Structure 1
């Protein structure tokens, strides 16, 4: 009795089979895979159509031996902050029409993750909010193309690219907005642990603008880790103090949402008793229970530009570029003008 033929092909599809299906040479398929110069759009579309039809997947290890794996590493400090989802979306948008795939890792320190990505022959690495010393980042950049998102550094010359929001300006805009809406006792909820360059820039902008507005005596910086319970305790201490602030500027939306929760539980009114402003303008700011005023730093744009710069680095650009997004205030009910 004859065995029925399987409807599914056994084994891995080869480059030769792709060439036969597309009606082109093996060399032509190879050029498309390498994104070689001079490949026509017609040839590229024909080969990619056959690759999709046959479910062809080139071996990353083999591509690495030829000099490129078309994989990028993306390292986040954590995934609790919804802003990182915006950055990730921007990176994916930038890579949609390329051969590159992105692999993500999570860690407050990047050393072990970066080394693992290098060992796996990833072509470049995107770092989000790295806290490492400039010397380490510079050494890493000499071994592998990197782009840092959310990293302010005075190192000159800098051997890697950066993509930043103007964090100091963003904090200044918050203070100006709150003053324009009748607030004077403006506090800032900052980070307790070793702050990143982003946190330092936002805190500096807050302090400078308070002084420029003649409110230096009202400067009040509270600190908390990013653990929810710690944020809640810090906000409660601020609001129970004898010199209670009439507005709190939180260095992220994530902290601001916790602040809104504490204010509500204490029976206080937002913004009549205390205004709340966050930073990142994540999608949750629009929720009716939050209606949070926030600084928009265009997370998707940051991710998109970072991926673009990294690919340019991989392609051979050597001069460092530094892309900066101008922030803007998105005003909502949490900081409306006092009556």
Structure 2
């Protein structure tokens, strides 16, 4: 069983600091990076608060659905943050939480009184329609926003990508490239949203060039392959925008293999702002998301539904651009 001291030792902080972060102590003075590192490590070690294991109310429970398509991406700090936000909020309100990738389990669960479901990521249209008609309580996270009956929580990735490109243009970059992940749910995945925002921004500027885009996947290895393709083109980019920090690490490796110096010869920007981003060489500029806030918001919205709210509600989170030494 994982204990607070295990997390403290792994992160390099005191047991008291870990305890106060996990209990969301508002009086604690600790950096955002340390807080995120503690939360990420707690999720990685699968830490469960003691009271969450023993003091739950049988009639207040939430089931979380994660699509099978996510696969290994569930180990990404973004999804770890979602899970921690959900679990910590449930813990604070004595709500039992379980996780499944079984669609039928979610639909059966929604039939129970005083229960609710949180669905992470895009889902196929048929499954979404079944959720809507199940007459249960549900909140979608990072899903297509085409439902008028389901609550949803999402980051404004389109707007964040456009703001990033505006800022890069102001900094003097003229050939931004994009590497991202494919989506079998076209125009639905967050990665796809970034791609659409990038393409439309480039078209508005009149500088769209398909040679500056490579969409393969979101792993480090695919980030390396995608960045290599862009760097070996006749007119390579002056900055690479990666849809995840993992892909950005792959871009670092590609630049190194080509003998390029970051940011002198090529700049790199990632998405998610994982805890390790600031420790890369050079530290990575990245778009900071708020997965823990998204998870907490989803639980709070379900609690509102349990309390009788019957008006559909959306929560939009605005990502923050964190500039570091990987850009000029």
State the TM-score bracket (shorter-chain normalisation). Answer: 0.7 to 0.9
Structure with bigger gyration radius = 1
Aligned residues: 271
Distance in 2 (alpha carbons) for counterparts of 1:239 and 1:91: 40
Distance in 2 (alpha carbons) for counterparts of 1:261 and 1:197: 26
Q: Which segment drifts farther, 256-265 or 239-248?
A: 256-265
Taking structure 2 as the reference length, the TM-score comes to: 0.73
Is the CA contact (8 Å cut-off) linking 1:125 and 1:147 kept in structure 2?
Answer: yes
Paired residue for 1:236? Answer: 228
The counterpart of 1:103, out of the listed 94, 98, 106, is 98
Aligned to 2:269, the other structure's residue is in SS state strand
Q: Which digits, 9 at most, give the CA deviation of each residue in 1:145-183, with x for residues without a partner? A: 21111123234xx21111011111011022112222221
Paired residue for 1:305? Answer: 297
Is the CA contact (8 Å cut-off) linking 1:147 and 1:310 kept in structure 2?
Answer: yes
Paired residue for 1:15? Answer: none
Paired residue for 1:94? Answer: 89
Distance in 1 (alpha carbons) for counterparts of 2:254 and 2:112: 45
The counterpart of 1:202, out of the listed 194, 206, 216, is 194
Q: Deviation of residue 212 (structure 1)?
A: 3.3
Q: Deviation of residue 117 (structure 1)?
A: 5.1
Aligned to 1:184, the other structure's residue is in SS state coil
Q: Call closer, same or farther: CA 1:154–1:239 in 2, change over 3 Å.
A: same
Paired residue for 1:314? Answer: 306
Paired residue for 1:138? Answer: 129
Structure 1 residues without counterparts, runs of 5 or longer? 1-51
The counterpart of 1:270, out of the listed 239, 256, 262, is 262
Structure 2 residues without counterparts, runs of 5 or longer? 1-49
Aligned to 2:222, the other structure's residue is in SS state helix
**Residue 292 of structure 2 corresponds to residue 292 of structure 1:** no
Q: Call closer, same or farther: CA 1:316–1:193 in 2, change over 3 Å.
A: same
Distance in 2 (alpha carbons) for counterparts of 1:101 and 1:289: 42
RMSD of aligned Cα (Å): 2.9
Aligned to 1:188, the other structure's residue is in SS state strand
Is the CA contact (8 Å cut-off) linking 2:154 and 2:315 kept in structure 1?
Answer: yes
Paired residue for 2:28? Answer: none
